[in-house]
C-alpha cells in the first residue's frame, strides 16, 4: 500500500486547485439586538461574515445568517447572497478584497487550513475552518455555527434531518451483507482512490458499504490497479470533479484501454456507477440526504 503514495502530493494539489475554481454588503444581527435599546445594542456584536467556500455559504443560508462576501465559483450559490461581492476561489481568496469588507469572521474548510491559515494570519484576518470531512463532523460544525450566531433552532433542525435519514438507511440495510466498494476520485488527467476517511468514503460507510482500502489515515491514495483488482470490489463508484464531463470520458477511456478493468467483478456485473458532482463533493455539503439515498440505491439495488 505504501507505494501508492508516489506522486500523491501533486495529485491532491491538482484536485484542490480544480475543485476550488469553478455589491452590497449585508450585516447580520439578532432580532433582539435590533429591537433593544441603545445600551443593549452597544453590547451586541455586529457579525460581518465571509464564506469562502460554496458549502460554507450554503450552510450559512440554511442557518438564515447574512454574509458580506461569498466565494467565486461556477456552482450556483444561494439567492440570498446574489448581490454580494465575490472574494475569489476557495484556494486563494483575494486578501485585499476580504480585508476591505472588514469581516468579523471568515469561513473556510479544514482541508484548506494548512495552506490558508498562515495567509489569513499574516493579513490580520480572523478565520474559522469548518471540518466537513464527514457527515458527523459537518453536523457538529453546523451546531457550532448555530450557537455562535444565535441560530440554534435552525442548526438542530438540520441535524435532525440527517439523523432521520440515517435511521431510515440503517433499517433498510439491516441484515444485508455489506458490499465491498472501490471509490475513484477523478480530475482531468488523473484519478485517486478515496479511503473511508474522505467525505464520499464516509457516505459509503454510512450506507453500509465496506471500502476496500482499510487502515489508512489519509483521505486519498494514488491508484494501483493490480492491487485494486486483487481486492476485486463488488461495486466501483467514480466521482468526477473539476470538469465532470471531461473526467467521465477519461474514466470511460481508462476502463476500455486498460485491459485489467475487465477482470473486475464490478465491471463484469455492470456495477460501475458515476457520482454526480453536485451531490458528491470533496467536502460535506447540505445535499448529503439526497447523496445518501443515491449511494444506498447503488449499493443495494
Segment 155-165 shows an average pLDDT of 96
**In whole angstroms, what is the distance from residue 93 CA to residue 129 CA?**
14
**In whole angstroms, what is the distance from residue 233 CA to residue 221 CA?**
16
- Evaluate if residue 215 carries a pLDDT over 60: yes
Average pLDDT taken over every residue of the chain: 87
- Evaluate if residue 68 carries a pLDDT over 80: yes
- Evaluate if residue 11 carries a pLDDT over 90: no
**In whole angstroms, what is the distance from residue 101 CA to residue 1 CA?**
47
Domains and CATH numbers, the chain: 2-165 (3.40.50.1980), 174-299 (3.40.50.1980)
Q: What is the DSSP string of 183-246?
A: EEEEETTEEEEE-TTSHHHHHHHHTT-EES--S--SSEEE--HHHHHHH--SEEEEEE-SSHHH
Segment 101-105 shows an average pLDDT of 96
- Evaluate if residue 250 carries a pLDDT over 90: yes
Segment 60-83 shows an average pLDDT of 95
203 band by pLDDT with thresholds 50, 70 and 90:
very high
pLDDT digits (tens, 9 = 90+) for 27-54: 343 333 334 334 433 334 589 999 999 9
Amino acid at each position: 500500500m505504501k507505494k501508492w503514495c508516489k506522486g500523491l502530493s501533486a495529485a491532491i494539489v491538482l484536485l484542490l486547485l480544480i475543485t476550488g475554481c469553478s455589491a452590497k454588503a449585508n450585516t447580520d444581527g439578532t432580532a433582539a439586538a435590533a429591537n433593544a435599546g441603545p445600551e443593549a445594542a452597544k453590547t451586541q456584536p455586529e457579525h460581518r461574515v465571509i464564506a469562502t467556500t460554496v458549502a460554507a455559504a450554503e450552510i450559512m443560508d440554511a442557518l438564515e445568517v447574512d454574509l458580506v462576501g461569498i466565494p467565486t465559483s461556477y456552482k450556483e450559490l444561494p439567492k440570498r447572497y446574489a448581490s454580494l461581492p465575490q472574494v475569489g476561489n476557495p484556494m486563494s481568496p483575494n486578501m485585499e478584497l476580504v480585508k476591505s469588507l472588514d469581516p468579523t469572521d471568515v469561513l473556510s474548510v479544514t482541508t484548506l487550513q494548512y495552506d490558508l491559515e498562515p495567509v489569513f494570519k499574516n493579513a490580520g484576518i480572523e478565520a474559522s475552518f469548518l471540518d466537513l470531512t464527514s457527515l458527523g463532523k459537518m453536523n457538529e460544525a453546523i451546531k457550532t455555527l448555530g450557537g455562535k450566531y444565535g441560530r440554534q433552532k435552525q442548526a438542530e433542525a438540520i441535524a435532525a434531518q440527517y439523523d432521520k435519514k440515517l435511521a431510515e438507511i440503517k433499517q433498510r440495510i439491516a441484515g444485508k451483507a455489506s458490499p465491498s466498494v472501490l471509490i475513484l476520485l477523478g480530475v482531468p488527467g488523473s484519478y485517486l482512490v478515496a479511503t473511508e476517511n474522505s467525505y464520499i468514503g464516509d457516505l459509503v460507510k454510512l450506507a453500509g458499504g465496506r471500502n476496500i482500502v482499510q487502515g489508512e489515515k489519509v483521505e486519498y491514495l494514488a491508484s494501483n490497479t493490480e492491487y485494486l483488482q486483487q481486492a476485486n470490489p463488488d461495486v466501483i463508484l467514480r466521482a468526477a470533479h473539476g470538469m465532470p464531463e471531461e473526467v467521465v470520458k477519461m474514466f470511460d477511456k481508462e476502463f476500455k484501454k486498460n485491459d485489467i478493468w475487465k477482470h473486475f467483478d464490478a465491471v463484469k456485473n455492470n456495477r460501475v456507477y458515476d457520482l454526480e458532482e453536485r451531490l458528491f463533493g470533496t467536502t460535506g455539503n447540505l445535499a448529503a440526504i439526497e447523496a445518501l439515498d443515491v449511494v444506498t440505491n447503488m449499493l443495494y439495488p
